């Protein structure tokens, strides 16, 4: 399959003079932030040559516990025979994880000849990371969003170089958010911002702001055709949809995205029907619910889903029956008010989905009737 690993194998010996830095290189550097470099680097603020640490000896430490474990291993192995990234260095690894504050943040900086690349990690396998994502439904600013601004400004102050900022999933949101709200002098040094299938923002207002318009022409937003993550919250209009080899939520993986002409991601005209349906339904839910209601709703959902602060979503995969029993047990411990509220919010969400569905059916009927009327007139 022609994906980022294929790109490394085919073009890994081409210098950046022969094949300039492009969106696929950006996606690769975004994907590298999912690896656990902090396990093998003694000084997190140190300056390291990338090829010295993407070695077979370090594969287990780098990839264990990360999403897409097998594909990450293939990516690391593909780096072994490449010259393209020989002079690429990385520094300023910044992992932050706080269950009491629902914070899951990770950033690192790559150093190229003419610019630096700031890469933000997306959501990991912890419930804590997923909880922070859902907190975007009602919080003005999450800890990781605040941290992303701080990180970008710190890196600029330290190196004073042009920057490209990118990330996959939540990392894409952080790339976009930090670029919007960092200082003017920092924004002036940003060459491009890449959001790879990242969620949007909880309100529409930021997209009408000065902060957005000053970066708009440098922002590149990608979404998988069947995206579920990128349709969460409000997002930009000029999204480019990507062709994937997988289906549904599995399209979110960057390893499933196709490459065309060996140097760009393969686009598709529109996102899929299910993705559009989810987008409109969830957007409607945001308009009919208040922030404090969404907060309470998320609190109850994660009380049911998460049995301890350090829990991982891998528990669902490895012990599904045990996990379901624990959810049922916690459901019994809900108070009458909590249970009633949960049912009301689920009903409200269900109504949003039904309304969008029936509106779509009505529009479809009108289009069919219009076509029939035109065909009769032509006859």
Q: What is the mean pLDDT of residues 198-219?
A: 90
Phi, psi of 160 (to 5 degrees): 50, 45
Amino acid 379: pLDDT: 59
Q: Tell me the Cα Rg of the chain.
A: 22
Show Cβ contacts of residue 43 under 8 Å, excluding neighbours closer than 6 positions.
Answer: none
User: Which of 84, 95, 115 is closest to 35 using CA atoms?
Assistant: 95
Partnered with residue 244 across adjacent β-strands are 257
For the segment 319-366, what is each residue's pLDDT rounded down to a tens digit? 888 889 999 999 999 999 999 999 999 999 999 989 988 888 888 777
Q: What is the mean pLDDT of residues 213-231?
A: 82
H/E segment holding residue 107: strand 103-111
Cβ atoms of 263 and 19 within 8 Å: the answer is yes
**Given CA atoms 320, 318, 196, 226 in this order, what sign does their dihedral have?**
negative
Please give the DSSP secondary-structure letter assigned to residue 10.
Answer: H
- State how far the Cα of 56 lies from the Cα of 66, in Å rounded to an integer: 16
CATH 3.40.50 in the chain is located at 4-275
List, as one string, the DSSP characters of 11-44.
HTT--TTTS---HHHHHHHHHHTTS-GGGT-S-T
Please give the DSSP secondary-structure letter assigned to residue 135.
Answer: H
Q: Which residue has the higher pLDDT, 113 or 309?
A: 113
User: Which of 246, 312, 318 is closest to 66 using CA atoms?
Assistant: 312
Q: What is the 3-state secondary structure (H, E, C) of 300-353?
A: HHHHHHCCCCCCECHHHHHCHHHHHHHHHHHHHCCCHHHHHHHHHHHHHHHHHH
Tokens at 172, concatenated: 């894409």
Compute the half-sphere exposure of residue 22: CA atoms within 13 Å on the CB side of its CA: 19
Q: Which residue has the higher pLDDT, 76 or 374?
A: 76
Tokens at 377, concatenated: 């007139």
Report whether pLDDT(309) > 80.
Answer: no
Strands of the sheet containing 267-268, edge to edge, are: 47-49, 89-98, 103-111, 116-120, 163-168, 190-196, 219-224, 240-242, 267-268
- State how far the Cα of 168 lies from the Cα of 120, in Å rounded to an integer: 7
Show Cβ contacts of residue 261 under 8 Å, excluding neighbours closer than 6 positions.
Answer: none
- State how far the Cα of 41 lies from the Cα of 46, in Å rounded to an integer: 8
Q: Which residue has the higher pLDDT, 131 or 272?
A: 131
Q: Domain 4-275, what architecture?
A: 3-Layer(aba) Sandwich (3.40)
Amino acid 334: pLDDT: 93
User: Which of 136, 264, 291 is closest to 198 using CA atoms?
Assistant: 136
Q: Which residue has the higher pLDDT, 227 or 195?
A: 195
Angle between the N-to-C axes of helices 273-288 and 336-378, in degrees from 0 to 180, rounded to the nearest 10: 130
Q: Which residue has the higher pLDDT, 138 or 227?
A: 138
Amino acid 323: pLDDT: 86
Show Cβ contacts of residue 172 under 8 Å, excluding neighbours closer than 6 positions.
Answer: 30, 120, 122, 166, 194, 195, 196, 197, 198, 199, 221, 222, 230
Report whether pLDDT(273) > 80.
Answer: no
Q: What is the mean pLDDT of residues 303-327?
A: 84
Q: Which pTM value belongs to this model? A: 0.89
For the segment 154-196, what is each residue's pLDDT rounded down to a tens digit? 999 999 999 999 999 999 999 999 999 999 999 999 999 999 9
Show Cβ contacts of residue 216 under 8 Å, excluding neighbours closer than 6 positions.
Answer: none
Q: What is the mean pLDDT of residues 75-104?
A: 92
Region of residue 374 (phi > 0: left; psi between -120 and 50: alpha; otherwise: beta): alpha
Strands 219-224 and 240-242: parallel
- State how far the Cα of 364 lies from the Cα of 198, in Å rounded to an integer: 30
The angle at the Cα of 271, spanning 265 to 276, to the nearest 5 degrees, equals 150
Helices (H), 94-142: 127-135
Confidence of residue 40 (pLDDT cuts 50, 70, 90): very high
Report whether pLDDT(79) > 70.
Answer: yes
């Amino acid at each position: 399959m022609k994906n980022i690993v294929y790109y490394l194998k085919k073009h890994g010996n081409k210098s950046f003079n022969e094949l300039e830095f492009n969106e696929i290189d950006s996606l690769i550097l975004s994907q590298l932030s999912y690896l656990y470099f902090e396990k093998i680097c003694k000084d997190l603020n140190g300056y390291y040559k990338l090829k010295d640490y993407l070695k077979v000896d370090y594969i287990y430490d780098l990839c264990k516990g990360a999403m897409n474990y097998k594909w990450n291993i293939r990516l690391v192995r593909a780096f072994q025979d490449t010259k393209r990234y020989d002079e690429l260095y990385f520094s300023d690894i910044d992992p932050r994880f706080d269950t009491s504050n629902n914070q899951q943040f990770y950033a690192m900086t790559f150093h190229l000849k003419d610019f630096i690349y700031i890469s933000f990690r997306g959501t990991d396998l912890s419930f804590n990371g997923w909880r922070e994502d859902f907190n975007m439904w009602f919080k003005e600013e999450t800890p990781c969003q605040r941290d992303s601004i701080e990180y970008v400004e710190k890196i600029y102050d330290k190196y004073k170089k042009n920057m490209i900022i990118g990330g996959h999933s939540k990392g894409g949101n952080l790339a976009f958010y930090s670029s919007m709200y960092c200082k003017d002098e920092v924004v002036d040094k940003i060459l491009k911002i890449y959001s790879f299938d990242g969620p949007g923002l909880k309100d529409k207002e930021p997209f009408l702001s000065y902060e957005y318009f000053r970066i708009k022409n440098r922002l590149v937003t990608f979404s998988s055709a069947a995206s579920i993550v990128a349709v969460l919250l409000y997002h930009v209009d000029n999204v480019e949809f990507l062709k994937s080899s997988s289906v549904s939520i599995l399209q979110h993986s960057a390893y499933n995205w196709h490459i065309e002409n060996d140097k760009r991601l393969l686009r598709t005209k529109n996102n899929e029907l299910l993705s559009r349906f989810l987008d409109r339904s969830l957007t409607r839910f945001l308009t009919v619910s208040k922030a404090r209601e969404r907060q309470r709703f998320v609190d109850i959902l994660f009380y049911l889903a998460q049995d301890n602060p350090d829990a991982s979503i891998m528990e669902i995969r490895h012990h599904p029956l045990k996990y379901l029993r624990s959810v049922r047990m916690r459901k019994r411990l809900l108070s009458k008010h909590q249970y009633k509220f949960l049912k009301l919010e689920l009903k409200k969400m269900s109504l949003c989905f039904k309304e969008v569905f029936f509106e779509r059916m009505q529009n479809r009927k009108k289009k069919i009737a219009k076509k029939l009327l035109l065909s009769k007139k032509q006859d």
